[in-house]
Amino acid sequence: MGSAEYARGRTIVARLAYGEDVLAAVRRVAEEHGVIVGEFRAIGALQRGVLSFYDQAPADPQRRTYVPLRLDMPLEIVSLLGTVSLRDGLTTVHAHACLSDDSGRCFGGHAADGCVVFACEVVLDELQGPSLKRVYDETTGLALWERLRE
């Protein structure tokens, strides 16, 4: 539903602290550097993780929910990708992750609060262009980017 052009701005590199929540830490880094719109990637390890899957099945979008998968074990961050934008005027982070256990088995999904850092390196790229704002979408029940120009 539309698109917009952005230019690459600054690149911010951060090492997240042991014990921090990954999503909260990325949000903090973005806010400290004044990044309103951005994309990020991260690698490292977690003490434990929480991923989720959005249950699209209920016919009523207001009954759709994220189903959590709690991984209470040490995990490698195989890939963590996400975006930074605004929701209700506040910085919000949306990320998906692929995490592996000690046997190499991978788990993937929407990264949720509760991903606790063991060691994590983040590269955050600022995107310069129109502000991106998340708003409620009646069709999906999700907070999606507002309509961009067509």
User: Cα separation of 98 and 120, whole Å?
Assistant: 14
Q: Is residue 7 part of a domain?
A: no
Provide the token pair at 125. Answer: 């790229």
Is position 150 within any domain? no
Task: Please give the tally of structural domains in the chain.
Answer: 1
Answer yes or no: is 96 within a domain.
yes
pLDDT of 46-88, one tens digit each?
999 999 999 998 888 778 999 999 999 999 999 999 999 999 9
Instruction: Establish if 2 belongs to a structural domain.
Output: no
Asked, for residue 69, whether it belongs to a domain, the answer is yes
Domain range spanning residue 38?
A: 13-145
* pLDDT of 62: 78
Instruction: Give the tens place of pLDDT for each residue, 4-27.
Output: 899 999 999 999 999 999 999 999
